[in-house]
Structure 1
Amino acid sequence: MAGGPCERRASCHRRGLRHPGTRHRDTGEGPADLRVDFSGLDSIDSVGLSTLLMIRRLTDLAGVRLHLDERPLALERLLDITGTLHHLTAPRAEGSGGQRPGTG
């Protein structure tokens, strides 16, 4: 869906602006963790994977830990085949300035 909330938020982030629905940890507002429950997921494609990668970037920037709960086999397989399982599920390194494992 063009112009959806995720697209608007990513666009705002690229311009250095804060989307009105986004709260940052440095202000003391917002959650420390974001849990995404995939128990009802039947299938996922490259658009879904791209969305997960964008969510991971945004949560890292906000200092929020991302948890992918109840991952079905289809999601596990996609993350394994694309090599993104570790990237999406590894804990954010504290004190690394937002750098994640494998990001040099």
Structure 2
Amino acid sequence: MLLGGGRNQDFKTEETTAFETTEFLQNHLEKFLKEVVIPDHQYAIALRWSGIMAMGSEKTPIVKQLSQRQFCAVRLSGMGVALAPEIGERVAEMI
């Protein structure tokens, strides 16, 4: 299971360029997982990560080929987890 999001719960703290998780958001996501997604089930967290939210004046993600061997998928406006499957397919087709 891939779970992410919730940055709107503490947007000021999450408005950062540091690649590190925050205790508040990790606790928020774990509570959501435990109480809403899979209540009454044991689970183990295999990996935690953080990213930098890329916002722009437009909401449309940028998905394009930059060079013969480079592609980008950026400006997902805080919706990277939700958009990842579709964006991944687009980049795969481009390759």
Question: TM range, normalised to the smaller chain?
Answer: under 0.3
TM-score, length-normalised on structure 2?
A: 0.23
Larger radius of gyration: 2
